[in-house]
Structure 1
Amino acid sequence: MTRAPGTLAALPKLPKDGLRIVPLGGLGEIGRNMAILEYAGRLLVIDCGVLFPESDQPGVDLILPDWSAYEDRLDDIEAIVLTHGHEDHIGGVPFLLRERRDIPIVGSKLTNAFVAAKLREHRIKPTLKDVREGQRVTYGPFDLEFFAVNHSIPDAMAVAVRTGAGVVLHTGDFKMDQVPLDGRITDLAGFARLGFEGIDLLMSDSTNAEVPGFVTPEEKLGPVIESVIREAQQRIIVASFASHVHRIQQVIDAAHKNGRKISFVGRSMVRNMGVASDLGYLNIPAGLTVSIDQAARMHPSQVVIISTGSQGEPLSALSRMATGNHRHITVAEGDTVLLASSLVPGNETAVNKVINALAELGANVISKDNALVHVSGHAAAGELLYLLNTTRPSNLMPVHGEWRHLRAHAALARKTGLGDEHILLTSDGDVVDLVEGRASIVGHVDCGMVYVDGNSAGVDENTLKDRLILGEEGFLACTVVVSTSSRMVVRKAHALARGFADNPEIVAAVEPLVDAEISRMLDDGVTDVHKLAQAMRRTLGRWVSDTHRRRPMILPNVIDL
């Protein structure tokens, strides 16, 4: 594989009848899904999601795809196509629309409704185009056809993109539950028809490529969830993704059957369930819901709390309950907490911390590890093989997965007879050209992480490193006042440390060393304040390393009178 310098200008020219595909997220990771397709000078975006931060990314709220390589070509974007309404596919849309607000957004009715609700919080009024399975629409040179796929959220779709270069099928996230709760199965007949027409490139979900067989049907979970709610004697708290409409419907049905009211907790949960209910995707019997204020006053045996926080997010409702900081709900001995979701890679530590905190409070924690209360929304290996054999693509590009998932998907493709030269294992930023039915990697564009902290998008790696150092090692600051004109120390060094040592006075030992070094440099005729500060930094660094074997952040300050 060749790698060109990290700019679009440095890439080889796209042939006249060629299609270029550049993934900007979702490869080598679970999240940040985004791909840009280019044909005849125009661009099409498929998904624009976020990734949630890990413990070594302090102060970060979200991580976006890096579309900076295309920042000068935003006017060339015909549309953003969204495969479904999960955050890892739609969460980045508000930030892209900040840069060009009139980009049309094409998605299913529920997906677009979730996006519209999210954009209202950003005070952006989008241009939405609702589409449904079986529909074909055209944006510029891109002819789009949509197919129903079964996933852990209603209204998920795959999209086929037809251009003069050929046909690309992007599955989005999918599985093949043959008895889905909403009766909407993955359109294998449509995929077969498209395969007969000829699929030049298949971009397919890889998340469960290592899991043998087929995913357990969703209908198996209903009786288990109902038994948990039936047998619980006190309050029940269910934590789920705020977009998992199917799972929440099962909880609502079980609560209703057992005479319990329900209360939604968490801003995104309240928002999304309101949208799903208004559009008819969620059936809530009249009078079943109560406010969180009402739920807090009810007897624990009469209510089910449906909350955000299944991934251990520090500020989520469940995390605040676990730490005793929730304004309304206090977890008590004998309460039941049901984690009705899968574990996103990277969140293990945070989730286990919440589970342990809940257990310490006396709660009975039920998760997919000890009961059948959740199944994956992604196709397992048997289903991926089924899709490959049904569609018979000329080329495969595994997407949506960590490297082990991508490689496992490639191994499945080989079993169906697809040669290595037709399987593209790519990283974020790799540039794939589809020309005359052959897909190949032709270069690479710089494609890093874009960190969001509050309203600021673009926190850089150096800032994150500084935060890690401050969190792990603390800081050591030192100030000295000099007169460079008379070449003398006017006020001796004063050192200050925080998060570095139990005894803050311990740093006083370095002050004479700083004074001696600054005096020596002044005597040698060095009067540049920056060079004096560098000398102070070296002196502080040597002392703290030799004496304490530590590496705090060092902040030297030289004031020239």
Structure 2
Amino acid sequence: MSHPHPELSAPPPLAEGGLRVIPLGGLGEVGRNMTVFEYDGRLLIVDCGVLFPEDHHPGVDLILPDFDPIRDRLDDVEALVLTHGHEDHIGATPYLLRERGDIPLVGSELTLALLDSKLREHRLKETVHHQVREGDRMTLGPFDLEFIAVNHSIPDALAVAIRTGAGLVLHTGDFKMDQLPLDGRITDLRAFARLGEEGVDLFLTDSTNAETPGFTPTEKSITPVIDQVFRDSAQRIIVACFASHVHRVQQVLDAAVAHDRKVAYVGRSMVRNMAIAKELGYLTVPAGVLIDAKELPTLAPERQVLISTGSQGEPMSALSRIAQRNHNLVHIEAGDTVLLASSLIPGNENAVYRVINGLARWGAKVVHKGNALVHVSGHASAGELLYCYNIVKPRNVLPVHGEIRHLLANADLARLTGVPNVVIAEDGVVVDLVDGVAEIAGKVACGYVFVDGSSVGDITESDLKDRRILGEEGFISIIVVVDSVSGKVSSGPEIHARGNALEGSSFEEIKQPIIDALDRTIAEGNTDAYQLQQTVRRVVGRWVNSTHRRRPMIIPVVIEA
């Protein structure tokens, strides 16, 4: 088994007849999924998603894959294949299309419909679409593609088999093996087995639940729990879930009909996505059950069901505003029931518990994954992955979609079933399939690209470090005027602090040490403004650290007059 190494050099030219795999996201994190395949001078991209920021990314809205490794080769891209419609697989597509607007898009009906809505928001023209479904096969340049039905927490998900002269690759996308799916569309294990008989040279498998033993529970196992919540609730019910979880919304709609309640969608993305799902036939809305959220005040609380965004504690989401009692249509009351029908994405725990506590403070009963079976994962657990390895019998395996621990756990499962070669890669690590063997060939520079408002890629790790310091330690500004003739301090230092315990202090004890240090620096012949600012920064930094045990951002300004 090969392991990536930080000292890997740039890969050599691809061997003739070989297939190159370049993961640009999704290997080392849950999100930002994007993989580039190169064969015969042409490129095929599978997925182009976003990663959502965590607490250590202050001010960041989204994190994109790094397009730099392929930026000068975008004309070689045959198509972008999208395995399903989740944000971590389609969310970065508008940003890629800004670089080359005519990249053909390949995906299932629902996936492309959700993406079209996103492209309209970004004011991008529609590019060429190839709508596909399970069983379809198509050729794009040197890539022969076949699409296979897989079950996931969003309808219409697909795995993709990629045939080239270098061999057959099978990419699962996100999948599980729910044997009782709500829509009756199971993962096509017969197709997996058929491809296994043909000979899968490289198997890229979803790793998210590789550490979880056994099999992922079925979506239908949640139905009785939702029904029990409806039976036990005497007032308003609010269900928070992902805005793309059509199956969960279907379960709630069915329960509302059974218990004579009306349903309103709350949250822009929920309204938009469910309208698309209904129009395309993926969501069945019984007559008379759905009302506009504006009608809620006219309806008795015991007849209301709200399906809301905000299951991850997003600060501007509908659920967060409800918890803060500043939503314009929904006023949480004691006795209301809130059902958080989703998993906790790593990094969101604090935000979610903050919302739970806010709701509980007003007397609401909060039902969540910690106290009831209200959500099942959309990803295959270890038992399902073992099953797949045994029927596909791949020659080489490259675990994808997961943090390092998930990738390693998935690799262990593959080895247990006798897979002869397992390659562990991270984002930017290049894997070549040559003569039936997959090996690490090198590494390309590949980092996070931050979106901050309308700014894309302008924010660096250094900027984020500054923001974290400002957020945690505050800042101190020092303004000093130095006489350009005498070289003496003629005014100041004027010192101000913000965002820390020093705010409002007089700073008298440090003013003279600053003046003395500047005098010494100037006497030594250092009159450059930058050198003088560094002198001020050192003096104030040492003083704040020794007397207050803080490390704020120090902003010195030295003016020559």
Task: Please indicate the TM-score interval, normalised by the length of the shorter structure.
Answer: over 0.9
Letter in 2 for 1:546: S
RMSD (Å) for aligned C-alpha atoms: 1.5
Change (3 A) 1:415 1:525: closer
CA–CA distance in structure 2, aligned partners of residues 4 and 405 of structure 1: 19
Could you tell me which residue of structure 2 aligns to residue 393 of structure 1?
394
Could you tell me which residue of structure 1 aligns to residue 545 of structure 2?
545
Query: Which ranges in structure 1 are unaligned for 5 or more consecutive residues?
Result: none
Task: Give how far 1:503 is off.
Answer: 4.7
User: Is 1:494–1:508's contact at 8 Å kept on the other side of the alignment?
Assistant: no
Change (3 A) 1:45 1:5: farther
Task: Give how far 1:6 is off.
Answer: 8.1
User: Is 2:240–2:340's contact at 8 Å kept on the other side of the alignment?
Assistant: yes
Could you tell me which residue of structure 2 aligns to residue 369 of structure 1?
370
Deviations 1:376-407 (A, max 9, x none): 11111111111111110000111111122111
Letter in 2 for 1:344: I
Q: Secondary structure at the match of 1:248?
A: helix
User: Is 1:105–1:126's contact at 8 Å kept on the other side of the alignment?
Assistant: no
Larger mean CA deviation between 371-380 and 158-167 belongs to 371-380
Could you tell me which residue of structure 1 aligns to residue 248 of structure 2?
247
CA–CA distance in structure 1, aligned partners of residues 486 and 239 of structure 2: 71
User: Is 1:46–1:81's contact at 8 Å kept on the other side of the alignment?
Assistant: yes
CA–CA distance in structure 1, aligned partners of residues 106 and 62 of structure 2: 23
CA–CA distance in structure 1, aligned partners of residues 503 and 119 of structure 2: 49
Deviations 1:452-506 (A, max 9, x none): 1112121211111111000100001100111223322221210110012255124
Structure 2 residue 25 is matched with structure 1 residue 25: yes
Structure 2 residue 320 is matched with structure 1 residue 345: no
Deviations 1:138-191 (A, max 9, x none): 111111100000111100000001111011100001111111111111111111
Could you tell me which residue of structure 2 aligns to residue 479 of structure 1?
479
Could you tell me which residue of structure 1 aligns to residue 44 of structure 2?
44
Q: Secondary structure at the match of 2:96?
A: helix
Deviations 1:278-327 (A, max 9, x none): 11111112332222221134211111110011111111111111122222
Letter in 1 for 2:431: V
Deviations 1:350-399 (A, max 9, x none): 11111111111111111122222211111111111111111100001111
Task: Give how far 1:89 is off.
Answer: 0.6
Map 1:402-413; keep pairs closer than 5 Å: 402-413=403-414
Residue correspondences, number: 557
Task: Give how far 1:5 is off.
Answer: 7.4
CA–CA distance in structure 1, aligned partners of residues 297 and 38 of structure 2: 54
User: Is 2:4–2:425's contact at 8 Å kept on the other side of the alignment?
Assistant: no
User: Is 1:5–1:11's contact at 8 Å kept on the other side of the alignment?
Assistant: no
Task: Give how far 1:216 is off.
Answer: 1.3
Structure 2 residue 474 is matched with structure 1 residue 440: no
CA–CA distance in structure 1, aligned partners of residues 398 and 295 of structure 2: 51
Normalised to the residue count of structure 2, the TM-score between the two structures is 0.97
Query: Which ranges in structure 2 are unaligned for 5 or more consecutive residues?
Result: none
Map 1:84-483; keep pairs closer than 5 Å: 84-127=84-127, 128-419=129-420, 422-458=421-457, 459-483=459-483
CA–CA distance in structure 2, aligned partners of residues 462 and 297 of structure 1: 52
Task: Give how far 1:223 is off.
Answer: 2.2
Larger mean CA deviation between 21-30 and 113-122 belongs to 21-30
Aligned identity (percent) is 60
Could you tell me which residue of structure 2 aligns to residue 536 of structure 1?
536
Q: Secondary structure at the match of 1:505?
A: coil
Larger mean CA deviation between 291-300 and 234-243 belongs to 291-300
User: Is 1:42–1:76's contact at 8 Å kept on the other side of the alignment?
Assistant: yes
CA–CA distance in structure 1, aligned partners of residues 259 and 402 of structure 2: 39
Q: Secondary structure at the match of 1:55?
A: coil
Normalised to the residue count of structure 1, the TM-score between the two structures is 0.97
Letter in 2 for 1:93: T
User: Is 2:28–2:426's contact at 8 Å kept on the other side of the alignment?
Assistant: yes
Q: Secondary structure at the match of 2:507?
A: helix
CA–CA distance in structure 1, aligned partners of residues 4 and 321 of structure 2: 49
Could you tell me which residue of structure 2 aligns to residue 15 of structure 1?
15
